[in-house]
Amino acid sequence: MRHTVVERELELLLILSPEWSIPVPARLGYRSDDPYAVHITFHITSEQPVNWTFSRDLLVQGVFRPCGQGDVRVWPTRVEGRGVVLMALSSPDGDALLQAPAAQLSAWLERTLRAVPPGSEAERLGIDDALDHLLAQ
């Protein structure tokens, strides 16, 4: 089975306070051989980029309504008349609130949904084929 990679460079804003935010270059990544997950790599001022992986479904839902709990929460809002998606990320290293442009994020998510339509993710994992092979031995 051919694997598809859907990537997009996107500038997010790291919200430091209501008055202050800084741009953070990020790469959104999706791979059809890991169909339930999205990967976001943040290029901040540290030596190594910061990587986050979470549910594609969570991000898709978060474009339309608040969702998530715990380490990753996502919700839509408007800032100065523009649609944006906020992502609150928590880890032992700290918390971050990031703002993404809703139109660009949605366009990228749409490409991932065309690559692997919702409900067809399990077929991409090849679990059934592996299980059949194992049981045939």
d(Cα 17, Cα 44) in Å, to the nearest integer?
18
In which band, very low, low, confident or very high, does the pLDDT at 23 lie, cut at 50, 70 and 90? very high
Picking from 67, 107, 56, the residue whose alpha carbon sits closest to that of residue 83 is: 107
CATH class, range 5-136: mainly beta
DSSP at 117: -
Per residue in 67-117, pLDDT (tens digit) is: 998 899 999 999 999 999 999 999 888 899 999 999 999 999 999 999 998
d(Cα 129, Cα 134) in Å, to the nearest integer?
9
pLDDT of residue 43: 83
Picking from 80, 75, 78, the residue whose alpha carbon sits closest to that of residue 97 is: 75
pLDDT of residue 79: 92
Domain definitions of the chain by residue range: 5-136
* Contact status, residue 41 vs residue 26, Cβ threshold 8 Å: yes
DSSP at 73: E
